[in-house]
Each structure stands twice: as C-alpha cells, then as structure tokens.
Amino acid sequence: MRIKELIKDGVISCKTTDPITCAVAKMYMNNVGSVLITDENEKPAGIFTERDLVRVVAEGINLDTPLVKVMSRKLITANASESIVSAAMKMIENNIRHLPVVEENRAIGMISIRDLVRALMTQELAYP
C-alpha cells in the first residue's frame, strides 16, 4: 500500500508568522495532533505538534509568540508514492508521530502513526 492511499484532502497549516494560538486552534478544530508550518511562499518550513505545545506550556512561552520561534524545524517528509512501511520506518527512526507528504516541494497531505497502524492492521486482517 502506498502513502497516497492514506492522505486526506487538504493540509492543515499556519504561517511561520502566525501566533502559537493559530496552530492550537486548528489542531483543536480539526482533531489532529500537528499542523504544518509554511513560509510566505507556501513551502513547508516546519511542523508544530502536541509535543511542541507541551514544551511551550512547560517553558511558559507566551501563546502570541510567532510559530517560527517554537516550531520543529527538522522536517522529515514522505513522498506520496512511498510505501506505508517506508513511512513507518521513517517515523520509528526519527521518533515522530506525524509525517508531511510532499511532492515537488509542496505539501499535499499529512499522515500520522495512527493512520499507518490502521492501514497495516486492515492489510493484515484482509490478508492474514
């Protein structure tokens, strides 16, 4: 199975200049654990995750702080044509739970570890 079969329409994102509250509100409204952070040209610049939010709160950082100052900059990505096993290995090797799907330097989706487990379990149940 390929990653393209898992991605849903649209990418939930905020700009690097948006405040932390932008990402938190979008995470809450969309029931997701991460938001892609894009630069002024709509190119992926980083990611803001639940782990980042915990760090922000623990450090007492003002929630009006621009995302560029608190986002995770090490952006591990996948291509839509990659296998879900390849995506799972990237997540395990990098200790991450969310993987932006990028084609031609443009984000086309986001997958989570939950998406991969669900797909792998479905595959296993269908073909034991």
| pLDDT tens-digit map of 4-41 | 888 877 899 999 999 999 999 999 999 999 999 999 98
* Pair 5, 114: CB distance under 8 Å: no
Report the alpha-carbon distance of residue 73 to residue 52 in Å, rounded: 11
Report the alpha-carbon distance of residue 12 to residue 63 in Å, rounded: 19
* Pair 101, 111: CB distance under 8 Å: yes
- In this structure, what token pair is assigned to residue 65? 């702080």
Domain of 84, CATH number, reads 3.10.580.10
**Cβ neighbours of residue 87 under 8 Å, at least 6 residues apart?**
3, 78, 99, 111, 116
Question: What is the number of domains present in the chain?
Answer: 1
Domain that holds residue 25: 3-126
Report the alpha-carbon distance of residue 16 to residue 25 in Å, rounded: 15
Q: Please, what is the average pLDDT of the chain?
A: 91
**Can you tell me the mean pLDDT for 103-108?**
86
